[in-house]
Structure 1
Amino acid sequence: MANTEFSDKYWYLGSYDRTIFMSGFIKEFSSSPRFNGDMIPNLNQLLGLIEKDMAITDIRWASYMLATTMWETTSLKNEEVITRNGKHKKVRKWLHTMSPVEEVGHGKGRKYHEPVKVKLLDDGSVRITEHDGDQFKLKSDGKIIPLTKKAKLGAVDGKAASPVYVSDDGVEHEYFGRGYVQLTWWSNYANASIELGLNFSLLLNPDLVKDPDVAYKIMSYGMRTGKIFANSRSFRKYFSNKLTDYNGARAMVNGHDHALDIAKIARKFEVVLLKSKIKL
């Protein structure tokens, strides 16, 4: 349930005491089977990005970004364990990374899984050719214009490439999930590029989304404005004045998928961050 008790304790802008933060983080999360000591440097890096972000003035916002990142970047990793007979054995486990990652399976089975071809045109626009032959023109202002009658974004996964796609002279790219919030679809990569003032950089080089600075800008901007991936929903819909709704906030990223799990993580981060504020 949403908490509607008013409090100004959440307003904060500045650095956190890293010793207190890390002690609290370990206390809250180390018992999880997904806890992974290797994520600590990545967590510190992400917290540093939050500290430098002058637009993040609410601890609940920071808590939800940390929680979303913890959930969305959990990945299968090799971990060495010691068996009962004392031997070392590598096992595959789901572990927290707190680092921008690629989507598991690269979206296999979804309509954004197949690659598309991207051609930068002389007039500064971009031609997009889908795997099924549908084509679009992307203007510098982000407007998408269908070039093929009844063209639709995405293609059925697993089907053979159309002759139009095969003959197209564009560069082939894949737009599966990447980053802290798993940005998907070529249209979202294009939108993120334009909203962040990066021209078409992320569309032309989608692996840039795995850069922590870029991944953070996408997450922060999207959650603050409701744009890019956030389904027209923003922090202020879920965290403002009397309202604290960690459960509902999941709608910014992925409907209600694991909303309660992520809300639980966010509340733990809230506890840690509140204790870590540096009092002036």
Structure 2
Amino acid sequence: MINLQVRILNLYLERSAACSKASAIQRPSFLLEQSMDPSKFFDAVRSTVFNGKLSQAQVNGMNALLSECDAQTLTPSMTAYVLATAFHETAQTMQPIAEYGKGKGRPYGKPGHNGGQIPYGRGFVQTTGDTNYERTDRELALDGRLITDYDLLLTDIEIAARAAVEGMKEGWYTGKKLSDYFNAKITDYVNARKIINGTDKAALIAGYAKKFFSALAA
């Protein structure tokens, strides 16, 4: 499905660059099920979230996350919060990145017990610490691949997307999970930050999430 979406969104970007309207595009399953038009979604986020410019790399990153949100049957509000978290944690690149400073001065910023690799933050949501890499490997059934090479969270966008979405859904990082803040009774974009990192930048990320949610409904 990812290849299909990339072809669709490549076409969209090409048409946008030529200042022509993308239309009559077959929608991939996630967008169809959420009653979304991909061209409207990307037009909306380009304007409201990305300050008028949207690169192919940013599209590809969102595409990978949307596909995994689809696979995990997340609601639109959950999906919006995943996208907002990735937007913040990747410095707006929407690509898996390494933590700035690579953990220097932090407890996890030194060689760990898996081949001396330094378990600084990597990926869409900045997985840190040997135990979190080990859990991610186990939960994603990677059979030791991630334990052997932490950089898979940088080089394999599908693994990075799975780690981000499944981790947030299941509460791998702090014990808090998406359903704690997005359910039939509440939609709490601010406190949802506790899924990843306490209340750090909670209001800022909540603002991004609301914009992504509006784009999902465009």
What is the TM-score with the length of structure 1 in the denominator? 0.62
Find the counterpart in structure 1 of residue 177 from structure 2.
Answer: 234
How many equivalent residue pairs? 184
Are the structure 2 counterparts of residues 41 and 25 from structure 1 closer, same or farther at C-alpha, using a change threshold of 3 Å?
same
Higher strand share: 1
- Counterpart pick for 1:26 among 30, 33, 46: 46
Instruction: Verify the 8 A CA contact 1:193 1:200 in the aligned structure 2.
Output: yes
Q: Distance in 2 between matches of 1:70 and 1:202?
A: 23
The answer to whether structure 1 residue 109 and structure 2 residue 85 are counterparts is no
Q: Secondary structure of the residue that 1:70 maps to in structure 2? A: helix
Q: Secondary structure of the residue that 1:51 maps to in structure 2? A: helix
What RMSD in Å do the two structures reach over aligned CA positions?
A: 1.8
Higher helix share: 2
Q: Distance in 2 between matches of 1:48 and 1:116?
A: 29
Q: Distance in 2 between matches of 1:183 and 1:114?
A: 15
Larger Rg: 1
Instruction: Verify the 8 A CA contact 2:47 2:53 in the aligned structure 1.
Output: no
Q: Distance in 2 between matches of 1:177 and 1:254?
A: 12
- Counterpart pick for 2:75 among 58, 83, 88: 58
Q: Distance in 2 between matches of 1:29 and 1:218?
A: 23
Q: 1:15-62 CA distances to partner (integer Å, 9 max, x unpaired)?
A: 24221111111221244xxx7543x43334423442353323300111
The answer to whether structure 1 residue 224 and structure 2 residue 169 are counterparts is yes
Q: 1:229-254 CA distances to partner (integer Å, 9 max, x unpaired)?
A: 2x111111000012100001000000
The answer to whether structure 1 residue 46 and structure 2 residue 44 are counterparts is no
Instruction: Verify the 8 A CA contact 2:120 2:129 in the aligned structure 1.
Output: yes
Find the counterpart in structure 1 of residue 16 from structure 2.
Answer: none
Q: Distance in 1 between matches of 2:121 and 2:214?
A: 30
Q: Secondary structure of the residue that 1:175 maps to in structure 2? A: coil
Find the counterpart in structure 1 of residue 129 from structure 2.
Answer: 185
Alignment of 1:110-129 (within 5 A): 110-118=106-114
Q: 1:167-208 CA distances to partner (integer Å, 9 max, x unpaired)?
A: xxxx32111000000000011101110111112221110000
Q: Secondary structure of the residue that 1:14 maps to in structure 2? A: helix
Q: Distance in 1 between matches of 2:130 and 2:203?
A: 29
Q: Which amino acid in the other structure matches residue 194 of structure 1? A: R
Q: Distance in 2 between matches of 1:69 and 1:30?
A: 13
Moved over 6 A (4+): none
Find the counterpart in structure 2 of residue 81 from structure 1.
Answer: none
Q: Which amino acid in the other structure matches residue 183 of structure 2? A: S
Q: Secondary structure of the residue that 1:268 maps to in structure 2? A: helix
Q: Secondary structure of the residue that 1:63 maps to in structure 2? A: helix
Q: Distance in 2 between matches of 1:48 and 1:201?
A: 20
Q: Distance in 2 between matches of 1:272 and 1:46?
A: 12
Which stretches in structure 1 are left out of the alignment for 5+ residues?
1-12, 75-95, 119-170, 276-280
Q: 1:130-164 CA distances to partner (integer Å, 9 max, x unpaired)?
A: xxxxxxxxxxxxxxxxxxxxxxxxxxxxxxxxxxx
Shift of 1:117: 4.2
Q: Distance in 2 between matches of 1:270 and 1:23?
A: 13
Find the counterpart in structure 1 of residue 150 from structure 2.
Answer: 206
Q: Which amino acid in the other structure matches residue 178 of structure 1? A: R
